[in-house]
Amino acid sequence: MQILLVIGYVWPEPKSSAAGSHMLSIMRLFRSKDWQVIFSTPAQKTDFCAELEKENIVTEEIHVNSETFDSYIADLNPTAVLFDRFLMEEQFGWRVKKYSPSSIRILDTEDLQCLRGARQTALKENREFTNTDLHSDLGKREIASIYRCDLSLIISDFEIKLLTEHFFIDPSLLIHIPFMLDLDLRPNKLPDFSQRKHFITIGNLRHAPNWDSILYLQKIWPLIRKQLPDAELHIYGAYTPPKATALNNSKIGFLIKDRAEDVNDVMANARVCLSPLRFGAGIKGKFVDAMMNRTPIITTTIGAEGMTGGKHPEKYWPGYVEDDIESIVAKSIECYTSETNWNKKSERSNELLKTVFDGKIIGQKLMNRISKLKLNIKHHRLNNFVGAMLLHHSMRSTEFMARWIEEKNKPSD
């Protein structure tokens, strides 16, 4: 039997974050192909993590800087190991290479953290982002991790282009894997324009881009409310912190709520999804939820990035893409009040979902690539000299540091 070992940074929470949903969809894909899937993590379980046992996914507790993992991975000898974020590859990659060298090493980036961090820094410094901002310590670590792996799952076609054109990473090390949706789950009947009301935004408020967008909406919403005095903005957030709750203002319809019990219910009854993201990376789960419920989306260029299959957002985005406050306000009001425009934008959702997010097509592409890797893994690794060099040098230093910590943590006699 073929075995996939997932080494997770956190337990997947599909109702809290797009990353959690994406990880669960990847594991489900492998299970559907009759692979045994094992999810392991050093993190503590949470109240909202997926019930993986019900998905026939085995769970295992592992520890960082512990030799117990060495015998575990050697005995298991999985077909493939999937690192959930580069931090897990840094911790466990050298152990996988040493004790299970035949295992295909796969990195799931979720999004490029160096891109998100660099954009956040540029925003804080009130200047334009440039690609040289990526040359941070974080960027060096993340790109090194991509090189050390046999394959990296990149969620955004924008990030594929950035990696190949700016960092000159060989395309053979990358594969574009956006959200894999079961399009058969799209509801057949949804509320129409007249049956919907209010604006909505949603997201994990521990995630810096989401929190920044809420602060940005404090400037935008009063301008919308001035022209739409009966409209409300409903802000749903997993892990809503006290600083967010403190922003609740019922007088102007700026309503901070906790996590949505059913994202489809609240999204299907909202007229417009409003989420002006000023920095970030990857692609946005909230917008996929909006598309599944044919709710038009007002966002920024960064918000729509990587979600239109390389096509120009002006013609294909199911809503409006604007980058200044005045335009965001104007298009929000237009979309909210014009049934003709609302219907036109709403209808674009199905086309975009079928073009970019069809899970059957994306999943088969991933499994085909892994099948080819299994047949040609030695040749594939010989062609990745930079990865071999990084494994030889940087991972040796990581190993020695981990061994030192192991010894330090052993009880004294």
In tens, the pLDDT along 245-267 reads 999 999 999 999 999 989 999 99
Using alpha carbons, select from 76, 85, 84 the residue that is nearest to residue 103. Answer: 76
Half-sphere exposure of 353 (CA within 13 A, CB side): 21
Confidence of residue 228 (pLDDT cuts 50, 70, 90): very high
Instruction: Give residue-wise pLDDT tens across range 197-207.
Output: 999 999 989 89
Mean pLDDT lowest for which of 133-137, 167-171, 237-241? 237-241
Give the domain range for residue 52: 3-181+359-409
Domain match, 174 and 232 both: no
C-alpha span between 399 and 397 (Å, rounded)? 5
150 and 223 inside one domain:
no
List pLDDT tens digits, range 172-191: 999 999 999 999 999 989 99
- To the nearest whole number, what is the mean pLDDT of the chain? 94
Number of H helices, E strands in the chain: 16, 13
Amino acid at 309: G
Kindly state the DSSP code that residue 184 receives in the 8-state scheme. G
Same-domain check for residues 256 and 329: yes
Instruction: Say whether 204 sits in a helix, a strand or coil.
Output: strand
Whether 403 has a pLDDT exceeding 80, the answer reads: no
Distance CA 302, CA 8 (A): 27
Q: Are residues 401 and 326 in the same domain?
A: no
Query: What is the pTM for the complete model shown?
Result: 0.93
Q: Interior CA angle at 67 toward 63 and 70, to 5°?
A: 95
Predicted pLDDT of residue 412: 67
| 147 and 239 belong to one structural domain | no
Residues 308 and 380 in one domain: no
Q: Which of 287, 289, 283, 292 is nearest to 319 (CA)?
A: 287
Helix, strand, coil distribution of the chain in percent, nearest 5 = 55, 15, 30
Instruction: Report yes or no: 83 and 108 within 8 Å, Cβ to Cβ.
Output: yes
Helix (H) or strand (E) holding 152: strand 151-154
Is there a single domain that holds both residue 167 and residue 280? no
406, amino acid identity: E
Q: 345 pLDDT band (50/70/90 cuts)? A: very high
Shared-domain flag, residues 89 and 232? no
pLDDT band of residue 227 (cuts 50, 70, 90) is very high
Count how many domains the chain has. 2
pLDDT of residue 404: 73
